[in-house]
Amino acid sequence: MNDRTSDTQWWKEFPLHAPTEEHRLLARTVEAFVRDEVEPQAQVFNREERFNRALFQRAGELGLLGLTVPAEDGGSGLDATAAVIVHEALSWSDPGFCLAYLAHAVLFVHNFSTNASVAQKCRVLPKVLSGEWIGGMCMTEPEAGTDVLGMRSTAERRGDHYILNGRKMFITNGAVDDSTLGDVFLVYAKTGGKISTFLVEKGFPGFSLGQRLHDKLGMRSSMTAELVFENCIVPAENLIGNEGESLHHMMRNLEIERVALAAMSLGIAMRCLETMVRYANERHAFGVPLRDHGQIQRYIGDSFAEFRAARSYVYDVARRLDLRSLGNRADADAAKLFAARVGKDIADRAIQVLGGYGYMGEYVVERLWRDAKLIEIGGGTLEAHQKNITKDLCRDPEWIRR
């Protein structure tokens, strides 16, 4: 079966998904990047659990690492729809690489460009926009994930620097190989009981790699690590914003993160649906094409309907998202809640349609099925989204009609 990049050029037919010429140009660029450079390496780097740094820097050359950074700061100055286009396209081929991209471009770069000072941006942005530095965000701890306020990391001001102590867990881009830290991180820690953000760079005294985490279920071409801060010395000028105001920073950035993660599920669902349909056309069972069997028709029909529904919702939420302010948490959570399950369910059906072949690495869907599970956990669990949506709607029932 020829499982190649689709040449349907969906962005020409569905203006919701690429509403402007700028979006359509981006879609063409990233489609070519995926076809020519991402897809050929995807299976190998996932199988070997390696991060493709050269490919990452290539994304920097294409301007993808600063997609939502304002033009005056050196970025592309694009919107949430552009972010969705890129995350969907990359995840069609390699969700693991896309997760590393998201951790850098959304969790670090977008967050940093929104909240950092002019001096901080002038020093750091050129390096992270080019891919010279690989960034990440450190929030989750061994005993605090969804419960952000339960974090134990602390930072204490001492003259011209802070002393940072704590451990961060499951940090994407925390390492670039078994022994090498990522380059720069936004680290959340408590100062006086409230959460503050610190820019922590590789080489700071007291900052080390605890362990690179191996043998993950999926997303194996993104590196995940435990990071350790033991009396880590952080210059006072590396405080982002003011002490104690980072809960607002965090919540604002989570909206675009969740929409981008939802877009990853769209890419997974699209690839699995295409693979399912192609196989059902080519494979025969009991003397007729697989597509003529009622159960297969149910898998394909349900998958198509769910994919289209999820895609329309995610792009609609992205269209209405203001990247520089809060205000659409309910829909950002709901888009990820819905799309995450759609992506995993369609991947599961694809394996069922392909049977034994679906269980093998050759047909990709088993890798995508493993990758899809992470989106039900990372960036907020399904249960956290359900809690947030209920809280927001009960506070403002009129949101249902908007």
Phi, psi of 205 (to 5 degrees): -55, 130
Catalytic residue among 31, 257, 306, 366: 257
Contacts of residue 73, defined as CB under 8 A and 6 or more positions apart, other chains included, come to 66, 113, 121, 125
- Determine contact, residues 67/83, Cβ cutoff 8 Å: yes
For 76, the token pair is 């592309």
Please state, in angstroms and rounded to a whole number, the distance separating the CA atoms of residues 106 and 67: 9
Contacts of residue 384, defined as CB under 8 A and 6 or more positions apart, other chains included, come to 146, 333
Q: Is 306 a catalytic residue?
A: no
The secondary structure of 60-84 as a DSSP string is HHTT-TTTTS-GGGTS----HHHHH
Report CA torsion sign: 101, 363, 2, 296.
negative
Please state, in angstroms and rounded to a whole number, the distance separating the CA atoms of residues 260 and 65: 14
For 20, the token pair is 């402007």
Q: What is the DSSP letter of 214?
A: P
For 3, the token pair is 């499982």
Please state, in angstroms and rounded to a whole number, the distance separating the CA atoms of residues 200 and 235: 9
Catalytic site positions: 257
